[in-house]
Structure 1
């Protein structure tokens, strides 16, 4: 007789109509998206960080759903929400709002889209000046069995940021990213791979695509702050920090609990009030040679462990 095979019990993904959760576009969805923890979900998918989020901002006779600033450049981001399929009216509004606010990042959140509107957004990204980027995002809700519905932001159209970066470098007389920048990008790619294989149960969300730069950002569930990992070959060190975007009240609230936070983080972190209170850092450094590839695994372990400590320590403060 063959042994009895135990069949695993698995759930089934089920799509949830958006208006069962957000009946009204402006009063429900826009208000929900404008909260820090929800905006962080969208920003993580788009690989951007925003601050100074404002809702229903006047633009002539109309209101923009959401206006924010790209961090740290402070360039303007506008978001138009449409809980139905794309149409010419909303596309026209999007362009009007973008010109009225001199926006650099334009995001169109929709429940569905037509092929002609997808082609239009792709055309904008191909032909607009380098500093202007369009995103078309399909918003979905999913649940498993009787679970709570979970939002999912699916990018339909996006700019080719890497091509734009290369184009800018060439325009300015360069030939492409330097060898050091490419090495930094490889460092972060291998850090993500290391985490996947050595810390499979990690609570960190390493969704962002590594770029050729000396830092890598990790969302902490709010637009007010991020965890930033750094690899600085000039200073001969790696680091982990909480970076706060010009939120003096948040920094002061954390500073009031400095003793407890220092104890939780360990090793006497540095508290840095940057010039003109434009930003704040709570940071820990580890002296090393980031160019020594033979030691990268040890560096990855230190960065990951510190990022988890920072995430666990600060998450409850937002």
Structure 2
């Protein structure tokens, strides 16, 4: 059970802890505070922070991960990079967590498009694509009428590649085995992803959705 509110007073997490202590598995109770964040002129987006959880929950998750097998060296390397990005830009946790995937997607509000950031071993990349199992032609239909304005704003050609269509593809090469270069790479990904979402939203005429918040009980 997850209790979401814009603010919690001291008795509220205490109530969550009481419920946890007086119920049996598999019940679990969480208190999640929701806030609104904005990066520059980008649309307002929700940010969720867990302020109450069962005792030992993180330890249980770690045990489950270990029981499913240890991560590979590549997976651990990816996780460390994404942790670096999240340390620099905590708001990025809305669209991608500390996991071992090679990419994280940020939706463009009001569309079925996403701006993907991608981690390779010798470069970081980003591009626009459609949903899983989507068709490149559907993405092309949305972007083509605006391709000149977007190419000018994003400083790259619209292009098209990959099975599902990767549009406005950009890459920044670097020695990603050298962790000292990670902050610059992470900043580049984050800043460009924000720029892409803002530019596409403006050109496609997507209305900005403002999260007002959920009142506390």
TM-score class normalised by the smaller sequence: 0.5 to 0.7
* Aligned counterpart for 2:172 among listed residues 282, 286, 293: 286
The secondary structure found in structure 2 opposite 1:241 is: strand
- Name the CA distance, whole Å, in 1 between partners of 2:76 and 2:183: 18
1:137–1:153 Cα contact (<8 Å) kept = no
Query: Which structure's residues are more often strand, by fraction?
Result: 1
SS in 1 for 2:88: helix
User: Which of 206, 210, 214 pairs up with 2:93?
Assistant: 206
In the alignment, which residue of structure 1 is the partner of 2:143?
Answer: 254
How many aligned residue pairs are there?
171
Please provide the CA RMSD for this pair. Answer: 4.0
Cα distance in 1, alignment partners of residues 192 and 155 from structure 2: 10
Aligned equivalent of 2:182, options 296, 312, 315: 296
User: Which of residues 200, 219, 227 is equivalent to 2:115?
Assistant: 227
Q: Quick check: 1:237–1:290 contact (8 Å CA) kept in 2?
A: yes
Please report how far the alpha carbon of residue 193 of structure 1 lies from its aligned counterpart in structure 2 after TM superposition: 1.7
Contact 2:147 2:158 in 1 (8 A): no
1:157-236 equivalences under 5 Å are 163-168=63-68, 170=69, 176-195=70-89, 205-207=92-94, 208-221=96-109, 224-233=112-121, 236=122
Report the 3-state secondary structure (helix = DSSP H, G, I; strand = E; otherwise coil) of the residue aligned with 1:272. Answer: coil
- TM-score, with length taken from structure 2: 0.59
How high is the TM-score relative to the length of structure 1?
A: 0.42
Distance 1:184 1:211 in 2: 8
The Cα shift of 1:177 comes to 0.7
Cα deviation 1:27-81 (Å, max 9, x = unaligned): xxxxxxxxxxxxxxxxxxxxxxxxxxxxxxxxxxxxxxxxxxxxxxxxxxxxxxx
Q: Secondary structure at the match of 2:187?
A: helix
Equivalent residue for 1:265, pick from 151, 154, 163: 154
Does the CA contact (< 8 Å) of 2:86 and 2:92 recur in 1? no
Q: 2:102·2:118 contact (CA, 8 Å) conserved in 1?
A: yes
Identify unmatched segments of 5+ residues in structure 1: 1-12, 16-111, 125-134, 143-149, 171-175, 197-203
List, as ranges, runs of 4+ consecutive aligned residues in structure 1 with deviation greater than 4 Å.
135-142, 150-165
Structure 2 gaps of 5+ residues are 1-5, 9-15, 36-44, 207-217
CA distance in 2, matches of 1:14, 1:136: 17
